[in-house]
Chains A and B, each alone.
Chain A
Amino acid sequence: MTVAPAERPAAASVSRRVAIWLDRRPRVRLALLLAAPVGWLVVMYLGALGVLFLNSVWLRDEFTGLVSRTLSLDNFIEIATTPIYRTVLLRTVGMAAAVTLTCAVLAFPIAYFMARVASPRVRGLLVVAVLMPLWASYLVKAYSWRLILSEDGLLNWLLAPIGLRGPGQTEIGLWLVFTYLWLPYMILPLFAGLERIPSSVLEASSDLGARGGTTFRRVVFPLVIPALAAGSIFTFSLTLGDYVAPSLITTTQFIGNLIYLNFGAPNLPLAAALSVVPLLVMLGYLALARRLGAFEAL
């Protein structure tokens, strides 16, 4: 080390001066701290959304297949006036709602058992069990379900002795697959929500003479509504945007399939306009979830 001792105070005083300067300016400190994440958010996230919105108001030249950068609402007018787009949108929202409802019904008892009944050891095992399917690739799971639901598949084989048949590769089959795929995303917030209810509240309820059913209806359920709404955001939005499972399991189109078709056609402007639609649906849903307090439970 050959640093001259005389230089040291000078160097220290520079960093000291910077420190003092920063200390007096909390806003600059905050700006430096947030520059990277906010930059990421603006450029990658809002930037991508911006490009999406922009494409949706552009047009495409049919002859050359090139995007012409003229502003127009034609894509949205086409979506609004073509019955098939409306049908597909309603079908998609209906599927998302059905999946969300089923997930909620299935997840509640599991989450309740995990949060309030199971011993810590069993609870740990259950959390692992719930998380386990998330370790496998989504694609692998969707493909396995394709096999399970197929004509000579596992489900039909299991049901054959009792004279029944599975739903096959239909919308009902798809509903099962979606419910399976997104169930963990409902269980976890519900589990967290139920765990947060103090035991004293439940004891008070029973001390005041409420039976199990009443306690559930008037105490537990209102307290987990935010958690339920939080979980439903996942199940609803994941179903709304998916196109891989529908194309693997069924021959039915969902909004994601239409986007994919037009993305590949390639008619980017129409695909972008179609993408804006579920975005709007989701904004409405988030507004509703916010009123139910979902964001406090996240």
Chain B
Amino acid sequence: MRIHRAMMLIAASALALSACATSGTPKPSFNLPTAIGAGEGALSVLAWPGYAENGGTDPTVNWVKPFEDSTGCKTTVQVFGTSDEAFGLYTTNPGKYDVVSASGDASLRLVRAGYVQPINVDLVKSYADVFADLKDKPYNTVDGVHYGVPHGRGANLLMWRTDKVTPDLTTWSDMFDPSKSWFTDKKISVYDAPIYIADGAVVLMKTKPDLKITNPYALDDTQFQAVVDLMKQQKPGIGQYWTDYAKQQQAFEAGDALVGTTWQVITNLLQAEDPPIPVKAIQPPDGATGWSDTWMINSKTPHLNCAYKWLDYIVSPEVNAQVASWFGEAPGNSKACALSAADQANCDAFYAADVNYWKSVWYWQTPETTCVDGRTDTKCKGFDDWVKAWTEIKG
């Protein structure tokens, strides 16, 4: 009887909650602003760690304070660890964050859900200086409408311990080959997210041309099945899944991982250790997946002027260079490289201006049922299918 009463209580509270909930997808329409007015005095930023430093990590690293001083926009920063977490924060607090640094696998979802608004790029002074190959990408521009300003990018690289793995690796296929010693010893380290499935698609683009994969984020049933099979075949060789880079750094340091997919910044950190860990990372000729981040503005922001001021500020050459070298990535602003010798070195280390380097990088992008490679005669697997397949791959 007591249990029944509790159940009724739950049911009652459930009804009460659903009653006050609204339904339907917001479909806002916008008139693009034509000028940036006076700031509203406040701004809330949702960013990757390292993108909006306010002295909290390191007192000497602070580019939020100068922004506040010059614009009067009091800035609060919230960081997130994965694209999915960022999107989750938006679904739970749609009005809370005025601007967000979104990778391609979150940006499209934010657009589709109506959480972010179109941008008048003419109001962002530095937009003209952003590398051309970062503009008008499917994850920042939808149907010709800009939804943000490109910020920086990186590629997912193939890394190995040079003292334990010889000769040098040349292809992603080395991570999928069960005859290799690091495979049988379970010494492979991969990124732990459904989006990693795209790495398998990149491999099949090279090794199984008859599948006709033209974009690793546009996979129909047959192609997707082939990729999932390849990933399942790789599973026995995997010794570690990583999402934060300290975890992978430690695994390579301890020798638990000898081969893996990595970010340039992790390689740099390992090589900078004392004594240096002998690792090498390349973008194999097969191509690679990667990420390109975009600053976007909340569709419901009450701080539109401050938001535009932030976009203008964060991709300006000096700040963009500062962020890129602190975070460890290639800056999006072409003028961020020539500011100083150190900035140039950072740009060179991350191939910031090397057009050919980025040509074969497939930036993360949310897979959708409407194929993102433009095919209309078939349905592709959407992100839900990717998540479910990822569960199956991990077993």
Q: Which residues of B contact A13 (CB under 8 A)?
A: none
- Is B114 part of the contact surface with A, judged by Cβ < 8 Å? yes
Q: Which residues of B contact A88 (CB under 8 A)?
A: 391
Interchain CB contact under 8 A, A69 and B18 = yes
* Segment from A22-30, A56-64, A96-104, A182-190 that makes contact with B: A56-64
Interchain CB contact under 8 A, A266 and B395 = no
Scan B80-98; emit 1 where CB is below 8 A from any A CB, else 0. 0010110110010000000
Interchain CB contact under 8 A, B383 and A264 = no
- Size class of the contact patch on chain A: 35 or more
Q: Which residues of A contact B21 (CB under 8 A)?
A: 69
Interchain CB contact under 8 A, B241 and A49 = no
Q: Which residues of A contact B84 (CB under 8 A)?
A: 264-266
What is the interface of chain B mostly: helix, strand, loop, or mixed?
Answer: helix
Interchain CB contact under 8 A, B113 and A64 = yes
Interchain CB contact under 8 A, A247 and B241 = yes
- Is A132 part of the contact surface with B, judged by Cβ < 8 Å? no
A64-B25 contact given A46-B9, A261-B387, A264-B82, CB 8 Å threshold: yes
Q: Which residues of B contact A39 (CB under 8 A)?
A: none
Interchain CB contact under 8 A, B391 and A84 = yes
Scan A45-76; emit 1 where CB is below 8 A from any B CB, else 0. 01101110110000011111111110000000
Q: Which residues of B contact A51 (CB under 8 A)?
A: 14, 17
Q: Which residues of A contact B387 (CB under 8 A)?
A: 261-262, 265, 267
A54-B17 contact given A63-B369, A265-B387, A267-B384, CB 8 Å threshold: yes
Name B342-395 residues within 8 Å CB distance of A. Answer: 368-369, 382-384, 387-388, 390-392, 394-395
- Is B10 part of the contact surface with A, judged by Cβ < 8 Å? yes
- Is A169 part of the contact surface with B, judged by Cβ < 8 Å? yes
Scan A242-263; emit 1 where CB is below 8 A from any B CB, else 0. 0000010001110001100111
Q: Which residue of A lies closest to B192 (CB)?
A: A247
- Is A152 part of the contact surface with B, judged by Cβ < 8 Å? yes
A150-B254 contact given A47-B13, A87-B395, CB 8 Å threshold: yes
B369 → A minimal CB distance (Å): 7
- Is B112 part of the contact surface with A, judged by Cβ < 8 Å? yes
Q: Which residues of A contact B10 (CB under 8 A)?
A: 46, 49-50, 53
Could you say which of A82, A169, A265 has the most chain B C-beta atoms within 10 Å of its C-beta? A265
Scan B1-25; emit 1 where CB is below 8 A from any A CB, else 0. 0000010011001100110010101
Q: Which residues of A contact B251 (CB under 8 A)?
A: 150
- Is A195 part of the contact surface with B, judged by Cβ < 8 Å? no
CA distance A253 to B238 in the complex (A): 13
- Is A42 part of the contact surface with B, judged by Cβ < 8 Å? yes
- Is B309 part of the contact surface with A, judged by Cβ < 8 Å? no
Q: Which residues of A contact B318 (CB under 8 A)?
A: none
Interchain CB contact under 8 A, B18 and A266 = no
A84-B392 contact given A69-B21, A251-B241, CB 8 Å threshold: yes
Q: Which residues of A contact B109 (CB under 8 A)?
A: 64-65
CA distance A158 to B187 in the complex (A): 21
Interchain CB contact under 8 A, B25 and A266 = no
Q: Which residues of A contact B249 (CB under 8 A)?
A: none
Interchain CB contact under 8 A, A66 and B239 = no
Name A224-255 residues within 8 Å CB distance of B. Answer: 247, 251-253
- Is B194 part of the contact surface with A, judged by Cβ < 8 Å? yes
A108 → B minimal CB distance (Å): 34
Interchain CB contact under 8 A, A169 and B239 = yes
- Is B285 part of the contact surface with A, judged by Cβ < 8 Å? no
A261-B87 contact given A50-B14, A63-B112, CB 8 Å threshold: no
CA distance A141 to B164 in the complex (A): 30
A84-B240 contact given A50-B10, A63-B368, A65-B109, CB 8 Å threshold: no
Q: Which residue of A lies closest to B238 (CB)?
A: A251
Interchain CB contact under 8 A, B254 and A69 = no
Q: Which residue of B lies closest to A83 (CB)?
A: B392
Q: Which residues of B contact A167 (CB under 8 A)?
A: none
Q: Which residue of B lies closest to A65 (CB)?
A: B109
Q: Which residues of A contact B312 (CB under 8 A)?
A: none
CA distance A229 to B192 in the complex (A): 37
A69-B14 contact given A261-B391, A265-B194, CB 8 Å threshold: no
B117 → A minimal CB distance (Å): 15
- Is A293 part of the contact surface with B, judged by Cβ < 8 Å? no
Name B177-212 residues within 8 Å CB distance of A. Answer: 192, 194
Q: Which residue of A lies closest to B82 (CB)?
A: A264
Q: Which residue of A lies closest to B188 (CB)?
A: A251
- Is B276 part of the contact surface with A, judged by Cβ < 8 Å? no
B255 → A minimal CB distance (Å): 5
- Is A292 part of the contact surface with B, judged by Cβ < 8 Å? no
Q: Which residues of A contact B87 (CB under 8 A)?
A: 65, 266
Q: Which residues of A contact B241 (CB under 8 A)?
A: 247, 251
A279 → B minimal CB distance (Å): 12
Q: Which residue of B lies closest to A58 (CB)?
A: B18
Q: Which residues of A contact B256 (CB under 8 A)?
A: 150-151, 169
CA distance A264 to B82 in the complex (A): 8
In the complex, the 7 A-B pairs of residues with the closest C-beta atoms, listed nearest first = A266-B88, A264-B84, A50-B13, A64-B113, A50-B10, A54-B14, A150-B254
Can you identify 26 A-B contacts, CB atoms within 8 angstroms? A46-B9, A47-B13, A63-B369, A64-B25, A65-B87, A66-B25, A66-B113, A69-B23, A82-B388, A85-B391, A147-B254, A151-B255, A153-B254, A169-B239, A247-B192, A251-B235, A252-B394, A253-B391, A253-B394, A253-B395, A261-B390, A262-B387, A263-B88, A264-B88, A265-B84, A267-B384
Contact residues of B with A, CB < 8 Å?
A: 6, 9-10, 13-14, 17-18, 21, 23, 25, 82, 84-85, 87-88, 91, 109, 112-114, 192, 194, 235, 238-241, 251, 254-256, 368-369, 382-384, 387-388, 390-392, 394-395
